[in-house]
């Protein structure tokens, strides 16, 4: 019997805007937690975004704080860095931002990677 893979899910600095969203949408963490659990189990929900140059998925997440279902809910983007490491890139509401440019996605990833390379003091 093989050991199940343990997937490490972490957040890029931009994803921490969830704190700002939580002030307006008090249930956001409750909506995101099942997604994180799916990712930790190795599931990759959502749609692969082509043309980014990285394995990035976009996922619709219901927002019960607004009565519009998934179409009016959150958009969560995550990056499959390795087979055992997934990075939550950003989250936004469709009412705030309809689309995110591929260049913006690459910039978030680049910024995340550069922060990893910075020496700690």
**The CATH number of domain 8-117, selected from 3.30.2310.20, 3.40.50.12170, 3.40.50.720, 1.10.3720.10:** 3.30.2310.20
Q: Are strands 8-11 and 47-48 parallel, antiparallel or unpaired?
A: unpaired
- Decide which of 120 and 36 is more confident: 36
CA dist 17 and 63 (Å) reads: 16
> Which tens digit of pLDDT belongs to each residue from 33-55?
999 999 999 999 999 999 999 99
CA dist 40 and 89 (Å) reads: 15
Domain limits, the chain: 8-117
- Decide which of 58 and 97 is more confident: 58
- Decide which of 6 and 4 is more confident: 6
User: Does the reported pTM lie above 0.85?
Assistant: yes
Which segment of 50-59, 68-77, 93-102 scores lowest on mean pLDDT?
Answer: 68-77
Confidence of residue 11 (pLDDT cuts 50, 70, 90): very high
């Amino acid at each position: 019997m093989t050991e199940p893979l343990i997937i490490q899910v972490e957040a890029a600095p931009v994803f921490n805007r969830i704190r700002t969203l939580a002030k307006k949408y008090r249930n956001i963490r409750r909506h995101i937690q099942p997604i994180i659990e799916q990712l930790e189990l190795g599931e990759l929900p959502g749609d692969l975004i082509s043309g980014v140059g990285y394995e990035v998925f976009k996922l619709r997440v219901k927002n019960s704080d607004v009565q519009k279902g998934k179409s009016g809910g959150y958009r969560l983007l995550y990056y499959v860095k390795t087979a055992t490491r997934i990075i939550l890139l950003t989250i936004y509401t469709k009412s705030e931002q309809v689309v995110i440019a591929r260049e913006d996605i690459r910039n978030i990833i680049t910024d995340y990677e550069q922060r990893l390379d910075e020496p700690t003091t």
